[in-house]
Amino acid sequence: MPGSGAHFVSPARQNRFAEGVTSRATNLPAGQPPQPRVGFAAALVIVAVVAAYWGSLGVPFLFDDVPSIVENPALRGLAAWWTSLMSGEAGGLTTSGRPVLALSFVLNHALGGHAVAGYHLVNLAIHAAAALCLLGLVRRTLELPVWAGRFRPCSLSIATAAAALWALHPMQTAAVTYVVQRAESLAALWVLATLYTHVRGAGAAGAAARRWRIASVAACLLGMGTKETAVVAPVLVLLHDRAFVSGTFRGALAARGTYYAALAATWLPLIGLVAGTGGRGGTAGLAAGISPWSYALTQCQAVLTYAGLGAWPYPLIFDYGMGVARDLGAVLPQALALAGLVAGAIVAIVRRPALGFFGACFLLPLAPSSSFIPVATQTMAEHRFYLPLAAPIVAGVLLAHRLLAARALGSLGLAAGALLVATVARNRDYRSEAAIWGDAAAKQPANARAHNNLGQALFRAGDVPAALAAYERALLLQPKYPETHYNRGVALARLGRPGEAIGSYETAVRLDPRYPEARNNLGNALVQSGRADAALAHYEAAIAARPDFPEAHNNLGNALLQAGRAGEAAGRFRQALALRPGYAEASYNLGNALAASGAMREAIGHYDHALALRSDYAAAHVNAGNALLELGRATEAAARYEQAIQLNPRLPDAHFNLASLHLEVGRWREAVAALETVLRIDPAFGRAHRPLGFALAKVGRAAEALVQYDLHLRSAPGDLEVRAERERLRASLVP
């Protein structure tokens, strides 16, 4: 075709190529390095990938990993996965509407639960497999007739270098080390597999060609079920066919029309999956809260940033926040540069199809997330460049081969070594939540979300003052960030500043009235401040916003119980247990509500259920003992108090109740020992002074008994019985 930059390949010529494609070149041009064997090349790439990522196996679950994997009930087994798939439940989780991705996590969970190393091993295997597909794709493409004369003698060396450089680039950690972004790497694997099997089919004939094309369609379908970015696979196959095999679009479609129809048909399930997610729970699409124009402007900056990091991978940033560009002037240079890239790619596709294919491989995989369709939660993200990075790397390797010839291999080897070192270093940044969020906050100081998430990581690590400082920094950057106000409240409550915590929760609720966690914690803080009546409305609002919130039902039950509404409280505790059958605290609280209503036997059953769920629940033994005492079963009650003490020797209520039993049967010395233990554990346990004074008097320790009576009368000056006993005891001490 005139001006196409490629040559039409006749069927006969294709057959000759098919027969020769597997042969090895024995007579290399002067100055060319010897070709490695395919097995050795593949092993070299795998070893390099393992070396780069072996240190990442202990990286914890981060950010979206927690809701999408750890807390996602749809990944607990094949039945749960299938139910979720069939229900078509919409959501904003990374796994929502991506059944193949979700299934990979289901299998991970089945094999190792939430042991994070297993998830990293699978991600590493996916990355290595993608690199091998890239190696095979590049090698087979260079051996096609269009380029065979120029590159076939060194096709494997070029392909190995390209695959290694791509796999070792530290920017890839965003899709490999960050577990949930398996979405990106697995989708890329299927796209690369679709292209690789297409090339194998182009180089085969008859039944073999059909088998490769069936495999290509299957890989394409799996990609559609993994992530929406796989939508570009059929287009890339057609562009590759036109540039390197058929020479024209018409020729490609005429020769393989059924194949392309099958590839196009894989878009149908993708359309259904995308429609079923409801705009990914409102976080993506035209209803995501960001205008397409603002998002498109932001992507002008994003795409150029990705390209720059591809050339020089620093600074790599785990999270870029949710900022958007508001006007064209702010990103005009980037917009012009991106427009030039797009225009150049279109021209190249028309006039220089091979070069145009590189441009398409760079731009098209970015289009679903880096064009004008908003992704509100991440307006920029390095993992989106996982597959597009292959195009400039392959082009760079080809250019190095042209310019450096025999020296290219050594130079590319040094580059691969440098990238390996950089990837190992980048993986160290992921060593903990606090480390990766601290790195993100340091590299992007204006990112409020990075500071907020750094605060959460520090809080979980036990450094509450540092967490509070991070929250304060986030609020300086974004004062209307309800999540940060909520997190600040949690930190203040932990630091014993309940009044300030209430203020933070109230601000979070004012900014987001339907924030169930903030409502729930505000209720808790009000209860702790003695304002249980005020807490009721917040618990109810939390439940209205999130009916499946077991903690809110449990806390509302506690508030109702404090208000003397034991029957209503029992209903809330039962609802909490229905939502979470293994909720030991709700079972314990239900026992308390039943005991308050006089249903002691039923209460004991729920205390025992709480103990079955949590064998170290000492308070359940104490309250079961109290219920047994009400039923007149003192011996069994004493055994329960003793069991509680064995589980938690520092539980004052257990010692106090056991002392009360000792007093009832006249075991004065045992009562003294138990009550003295109570006051050692909790000097503010005022109820112990009166019975301890009585028991001390019984064992002849009158002077100590007077001290205990005096302490009791400070808080109960109207206790005439103790006043009389104190005077009698004093009189007995007068010589």
Whole-angstrom distance, CA of residue 210 vs CA of residue 216: 10
Whole-angstrom distance, CA of residue 213 vs CA of residue 685: 79
Q: Give the residue extent of every domain in the chain.
A: 11-19+36-426, 548-648, 663-735
Whole-angstrom distance, CA of residue 21 vs CA of residue 26: 13
Short-list 696, 686, 695, 697, CA closest to 719: 686
C-alpha separations of 334 from 303, 379, 380, 639 in Å: 9, 16, 14, 76
With cut-offs at 50, 70 and 90, classify the pLDDT of residue 376. confident
Write the CB contacts of 232 (distance below 8 Å, at least 6 apart in sequence): 191, 364, 365, 367, 368
pLDDT number for residue 2: 34
Q: Dihedrals φ, ψ of 375, to 5°?
A: -120, 95
pLDDT number for residue 6: 38
What is the sign of the dihedral through the CA atoms of 240, 245, 251 and 252?
negative
With cut-offs at 50, 70 and 90, classify the pLDDT of residue 641. very high
The proportion of the chain whose per-residue pLDDT surpasses 70, expressed as a percent, equals: 93
CATH superfamily, with its number, for domain 548-648: Tetratricopeptide repeat domain (1.25.40.10)
pLDDT top residue among 83 and 381 = 381
Write the CB contacts of 700 (distance below 8 Å, at least 6 apart in sequence): none
Pick from 2-11, 128-137, 339-348: least confident: 2-11
- Which residue's entry shows tokens 């590189």? 358
C-alpha separations of 557 from 105, 198, 507, 582 in Å: 36, 62, 25, 17
C-alpha separations of 36 from 27, 41, 79, 145, 311 in Å: 14, 6, 47, 21, 27
pLDDT number for residue 632: 94
pLDDT number for residue 91: 67
The answer, yes or no, to whether the previous bond of 315 is cis (omega within 30 of 0) is: yes
pLDDT number for residue 522: 96
In the predicted structure, residue 713 carries a pLDDT above the cut 60: yes
pLDDT number for residue 440: 97
Whole-angstrom distance, CA of residue 244 vs CA of residue 241: 6
554-577: average pLDDT? 95
127-155: average pLDDT? 93
Burial of residue 218, with CB atoms counted within 10 A of its CB: 0-12 exposed, 13-18 middle, 19 or more buried = middle
In the predicted structure, residue 278 carries a pLDDT above the cut 80: no
CA torsion angle 44 46 48 50 (round to 10): -150
- CB atoms under 10 Å from CB of 160, counted, come to 27
In the predicted structure, residue 618 carries a pLDDT above the cut 60: yes
Q: Dihedrals φ, ψ of 318, to 5°?
A: -65, -40
Q: Which amino acid is at 392?
A: P
Pick from 6-20, 570-584, 601-615, 677-691: least confident: 6-20
In the predicted structure, residue 715 carries a pLDDT above the cut 70: yes
61-69: average pLDDT? 95
Whole-angstrom distance, CA of residue 553 vs CA of residue 574: 9
335-351: average pLDDT? 95
- CB atoms under 10 Å from CB of 346, counted, come to 14
Q: Which amino acid is at 44?
A: L
- Buried (b) or exposed (e) across 189-208, using 16+ Cβ within 10 A? bbbbbbbbbbbbbbbbeeee
pLDDT top residue among 701 and 19 = 701
Which range in 15-29, 78-92, 616-630 is most confidently predicted, on average pLDDT?
616-630
Tokens of 627: 């219920």
Number of helices followed by number of strands (H, E) in the chain? 39, 0
Name the CATH code of domain 663-735 (choices 3.90.1150.10, 1.25.40.10, 3.30.56.10, 3.40.640.10).
1.25.40.10
In the predicted structure, residue 24 carries a pLDDT above the cut 90: no
Q: Do domains 548-648 and 663-735 have the same CATH topology?
A: yes
Pick from 42-46, 152-156, 187-191: least confident: 152-156
pLDDT number for residue 89: 62
In the predicted structure, residue 695 carries a pLDDT above the cut 90: yes
Whole-angstrom distance, CA of residue 192 vs CA of residue 391: 12
Short-list 314, 24, 330, 60, CA closest to 180: 60
Pick from 15-19, 229-233, 664-668, 730-734: least confident: 15-19
With cut-offs at 50, 70 and 90, classify the pLDDT of residue 291. confident
Mean pLDDT estimate for the chain: 91
pLDDT number for residue 179: 98
Which range in 90-94, 192-196, 366-370, 700-704 is most confidently predicted, on average pLDDT?
192-196
Whole-angstrom distance, CA of residue 43 vs CA of residue 15: 30
Whole-angstrom distance, CA of residue 287 vs CA of residue 273: 17
Write the CB contacts of 356 (distance below 8 Å, at least 6 apart in sequence): 239, 243, 345, 346, 347, 348, 349, 350
Write the CB contacts of 720 (distance below 8 Å, at least 6 apart in sequence): none
- CB atoms under 10 Å from CB of 184, counted, come to 29
pTM of full prediction above 0.75: yes
- CB atoms under 10 Å from CB of 643, counted, come to 17
